[in-house]
Amino acid sequence: MRDAFIRTLTDLAPQHPELLLLTGDLGFKVLDQYIARFPRQFLNVGVAEQNMSGLAAGLALEGHTVFTYSIGNFPTLRCLEQIRNDICYHGANVKIVCIGGGMSYGAVGFSHHATEDLAILRSLPGMLVFSPCDLWEAAEAARYLVSHRGPAYLRLDKSAAPVNVEPGEAFRPGSIRTVREGSDVTLAATGGILGEALLAADALAEQGIFCRVLSVHTVKPLDTDTLAAAASETGGIISIEEHAVDGGLGGAISEALMEAGVFPGFFVRMGLRNTFSSAVGSQQYLRKVYSLDAAAIARTVSARLARGADRFLTVAAR
Amino acid sequence: MRKTKDLAQLQAIARGVRRHIVEMTGAAKSGHPGGSLSAVETLVTLYFDVMNHDPANPRWADRDRFILSKGHAAPVLYAVMAECGYADTPVDQLNTLRKLGSVYQGHPDRRFIPSLEASTGSLGQGLSVAIGMGLAARLDGKAWRTYVVLGDGEIQEGQIWEAAMFGAFHKVDNVVAIVDYNRIQLDGFVKDIMELEPLADKWRAFGWQVVEPDGHDIASLQKAFAEAAATKGKPTVLIAHTIKGKGVSFMENNPKFHGVAPTPAEVEQALKELA
């Protein structure tokens, strides 16, 4: 996703001389081509994210479109107050880009895992929150943000779901993409972990359970209509995120549906439950440890449907 | 507006600004008179002599930018902008400070006063924003300059030193920081809470041009701003030596008046002293 983002920025920079990319010393060579071509549109600000965010606000208030770019929590939690006061309060045209959303940085450790960012960033007034699931969504979200004016957060995952785009499909910010139709259960995922949802859906289909799979690439604003339809048309909703269940995608969906007065048959939030992702291993391994891989998703679906069936049987027996 | 280099005129304006500060905070029954009074000559010198700006055209593209990073000194900024004649800072409403419906929030707020460059209040953040603006001016080939006033307690924030390193390394010489060095912070004297000395050496070590004017001597400030304008290749910091509560005998150098408003009797006495 990182490369898709950089490619998009590199493509668009010539037409957008106001575009500036700031990094807190985490270019990791992947920015080299961009830097070589657009030295005046790049700045490595050093390991100083609070200053980076304030600089970005100052530059944006003077007409620049500024991307701040770093990994994990560094461009967000470290400088949250600068984002709140300098960027959001001023409606400054700053796009915050996190590479390594969720547990992307695997064995690097919990300090490099971004697992509360969606909850925190979406609570900020005026902030858009994008968390693409595949490379197409990542590139399209980046393209949208170059032209959009105002604060936004783009969370990029190391993993990516397989691209599943209809010919001619347009990226619609603020909308949920239905990547697979089904009526038994809805799997609503954000980020690369959508790939696990698709694998689970494949396995469940073999058992005759058909999942609707939703890619929630925009966590804020949230597409309540698509979620409400899923609540009414399918047996229940399972939210899936590489993130704390509190306040993240699951929190956002439950808030939206409660307020809309639409209640799914059941609702399960899959994510980290009051825990740090401190086990040591790859992103894939960590998904298994924290019950967020395809097998865990399939188990959750089966368990909920079985519970529903039990209840039905009990009622019938009376 | 009446821009001037004349010391007597500038001093008269400063006296009027001090009266506003006392009246505003007295009327509000809250606010930060001490750190507002210490910064009066700095802001008066900037707004009435040094800075290029046009109150009739607050968004003039080539204006110099000003950020009050120590946002709690809002009363001095409001009073100075009001005296300049900005339409969104009316003189006759200064005494509505902190009251329901007032544009005069406890800290400068651009949503109420669009002529402000930035809303401030949380300490330590303004220098980065100012340097961002300075970078923008340089990238865009503009001659305007950015001024930012910092508190001394404020520069205990780590972000200030991130910004200081950045500003010097990138030679952002169109930015001038002014430290209102009144040596008192909220809970007491800076030297007892977290000493900043040797302060000039610290800024020099970070690569800044350092000038140390008497922050209540307008001629000294004028000279310092001229030196800043002549300094190329690095940013300049004015460590303005000031007295908290300056101009009001019982407020001077008294930590109590960091964040406590004068009583009606104190307002009366202060206005007599500032007559």
Q: What is the DSSP string of A75-119?
A: TTTTTHHIIIIIIITTT--EEEEEESBBTTTGGG-GGG-BSSHHH
The pLDDT score that the predictor gives to residue A307 is 82
Partner A contacted by B64 (CB < 8 A): no
CB A31 within 8 A of CB B106: no
**What value does the mean pLDDT take over residues B101-109?**
96
- At A314 the pLDDT is 45
* Average of per-residue pLDDT values in chain A: 95
| Residues A121-154 pLDDT 10s | 999 999 999 999 999 999 999 999 999 999 999 9
Residues B166, A46: C-beta atoms closer than 8 Å:
yes
Nearest CA to CA, how far is B125 from chain A (Å)? Answer: 7
Residue A89, chain B, CB below 8 Å: the answer is yes
Contact B158 A50 (CB under 8 A): yes
* A contact test, residue of B162, B171, B172, B206 with most A CBs within 10 A: B162
Dihedral-angle region of residue B95 (phi above 0 means left; psi in -120 to 50 means alpha; beta otherwise)? alpha
Q: Which of residues 108-167 of B touch A (CB under 8 A)?
A: 110-111, 117-122, 124-137, 139-140, 158-159, 162-163, 165-166
Q: What pLDDT does A317 receive?
A: 46
Cis peptide before A75 (omega within 30 of 0): no
Whether A212 has a pLDDT exceeding 80, the answer reads yes
For residue A27, name the pLDDT band (cuts at 50, 70, 90). Answer: confident
What residues in A contact B163, CB-CB < 8 Å? 51, 54-55
- Residue range A72-99: mean pLDDT, rounded: 98
Distances (CA, A) of B94 to A153, B74, B239, B261, B266: 39, 11, 29, 15, 18
Using the 8-state DSSP alphabet, how is residue A183 labeled?
S
Considering only the C-alpha atoms of chain B, give the largest distance between any 2 of them, rounded to a whole number of Å.
53
pLDDT, residue A26, reads 86
Nearest CA in chain A to B131: A55
Q: Which residue of B has its CA nearest to A46?
A: B166
Query: What are the sequence ranges of the domains in chain B?
Result: 7-273
B69 touches chain A (CB under 8 A): no
Q: How confident is the model at residue A30 (pLDDT cuts 50, 70, 90)?
A: confident
Contact A55 B131 (CB under 8 A): yes
pLDDT at B224 over 50: yes
Binned at pLDDT 50, 70 and 90, residue A164 comes out as confident
Average pLDDT over residues B130-152: 98
Distance from CA of B112 to the nearest CA of A (A): 12
Q: Give me the helices (H) in chain A, please.
A: 2-12, 32-37, 49-61, 80-81, 117-122, 135-147, 194-206, 224-233, 249-260, 283-289, 294-317
In contact, B41 and B218? CB cutoff 8 Å: yes
- Residues A267-316 have pLDDT tens digits of 999 999 999 999 999 999 999 999 999 999 999 999 999 887 655 554 44
Beta-strand ranges (E) seen in A146-184 are 152-156, 177-180
Q: Are residues A54 and B163, on separate chains, in Cβ contact within 8 Å? A: yes
Topology of B7-273 in CATH? Rossmann fold (3.40.50)
The residue among B14, B23, B126, B15 whose CA lies nearest residue B67 is B126
Percent of chain B with pLDDT over 90: 98
The per-residue pLDDT for A311 is 53
Task: Give tens-digit pLDDT for B188-199.
Answer: 999 999 999 999
Contact B128 A89 (CB under 8 A): no
pLDDT, tens digit, 9 for 90 and up, residues A88-116:
999 999 999 999 999 999 989 999 999 99
pLDDT digits (tens, 9 = 90+) for B67-104: 999 999 999 999 999 999 999 999 999 999 999 999 99
Q: Tell me, what's the pLDDT at A309?
A: 61
pLDDT tens-digit series, residues B29-47: 999 999 999 999 999 999 9
- Domains of chain A by start residue, with CATH: 2-156 (3.40.50.970), 177-317 (3.40.50.920)
Mean pLDDT of A237-252: 97
